[in-house]
Amino acid sequence: MKADEKSDVIIIGAGAAGMFCAALCAGRGRSVLVLDHASRTGSKVRISGGGRCNFTNLNAAAEHYRSRNPNFCKSALARFTPRDMLSLVALHHIAYYEKEAGQMFCRDSAKDIIAMLERECTSAGVVINLDCPVHRIVQEGGFTVTTGKGAFQSRSLVIATGGLSYENLGASSFGHEIARQFGLELVPPRPALVPLLFPGPAQKRFRECAGISLDASVACGGKTYRGNILFTHKGLSGPAVLQASLYWEPNAPVNINLLPDRDIYERFQDKRQSRMAVGNFLGQLLPKRFVQTWLDPSFAAWPITECSNKDLRELADRLHNWKIIPAGTEGYRIAEVTAGGVHTDELSSKTMEAKKVPGLYFIGEVMDVTGELGGYNLHWAWASAHAAGEYA
């Protein structure tokens, strides 16, 4: 499509949400132009799921998403379900498998999903213009989008630019800036599904534990997640910690149950007459290097039989409720997603259209709907793109 030509729909962002929405709009007979500053499509899709793309989750439902309005995502999720996505994937003969807890992955490569989206766009007549940075957007009746390759006009404009995570892949605040330009409220963006940092003294203390992984239960912001936690040189990572980070707020505590399947106080009582040192006993249940760092050395050497019930109760309580107040997160550099974004009160839950700006739509990560780990965020890309694709 040449500059100055008019299309029905311009979509900014050639990622998962943008391309899917483009194919759906074009399938309704709309002329669609997709613009992206990158040199290829689907950059984040390409690396998702360790290169195999966790493209949906069979359990996708509102309770797995965080938003200021927890009900906003229900309509879109109900109209495009995981089964709908599996049907589309099967139509393109993409082999897939369930890893765990409803997480669906490509058997071969994430590139299969990108190729599927590109085929859907091509067959529907979508024009994709890459290496095309957007410089300015003006609304005068329709929308005029000025780019490095000239100006393009459309009746509808869809913002599918994602969030701030993965700056090295071209992520930027562009979508948030467009929302501000048109007077829409933002929920302050922040990195999510991201490792948490120990405060200074703890960071120094637990540096020797880097690389240790253990099964735990992590609670934060009223949510509890079970899974591995991984000690890094700066703090904690691993699936349970990344999940909890979605609900972590600055200065808030994170509570970790280091022995979620055991009543450690009862185990102490079973060993009440034993002269085994407390540290040696815990070293049978938890990684020894962690126990040596976590437990006070003088207490670690005490025989269990010489400990008072009060001492054992307090230790058990700490093991089941280790409280940490993180100093922060690892940031957007390695965050899986961006939480916050365009406030959902500004958008129609049916169409994703801005209530104040007819013809302007926001889909995917750019808005304040953030899923847990496990394919939920990519499914939101499909579901929100499908909702806008029916109306844009």
- Tokens representing 149? 């390759």
Q: Cβ(53)–Cβ(106) under 8 Å? A: yes
Q: Where does residue 125 fall: left (phi above 0), alpha (psi -120 to 50 degrees), or beta otherwise?
A: left
Residue 4: predicted pLDDT: 63
Question: What is the pLDDT of the chain when averaged over all its residues?
Answer: 96
Strand order in the sheet with 254-257: 322-324, 254-257, 213-220, 223-231, 235-237, 196-197, 328-329
Residue 234: predicted pLDDT: 96
Domains in the chain with CATH codes? 6-189+339-389 (3.50.50.60), 196-329 (2.40.30.10)
pTM of the model: 0.95
DSSP per position, 77-126: HHHS-HHHHHHHHHHTT--EEE-STTEEEESS-THHHHHHHHHHHHHHT-
pLDDT tens profile 232-288: 999 999 999 999 999 999 999 999 999 999 999 999 999 999 999 999 999 999 999
How far apart are the C-alpha atoms of 335 and 179, rounded to whole Å? Answer: 22
Residue 281: predicted pLDDT: 96
Could you report the average pLDDT of every consecutive run of 10 residues in the chain (392 residues)?
A: 80 98 98 97 94 97 98 98 98 96 96 98 98 96 95 97 88 95 98 97 95 97 97 97 97 97 94 94 96 92 94 96 97 96 98 98 98 98 98 97
Q: How far from 145 is each of 27, 155, 162, 163, 346, CA to CA, in Å?
A: 23, 11, 18, 20, 22
Residue 2: predicted pLDDT: 60
Residue 1: predicted pLDDT: 56
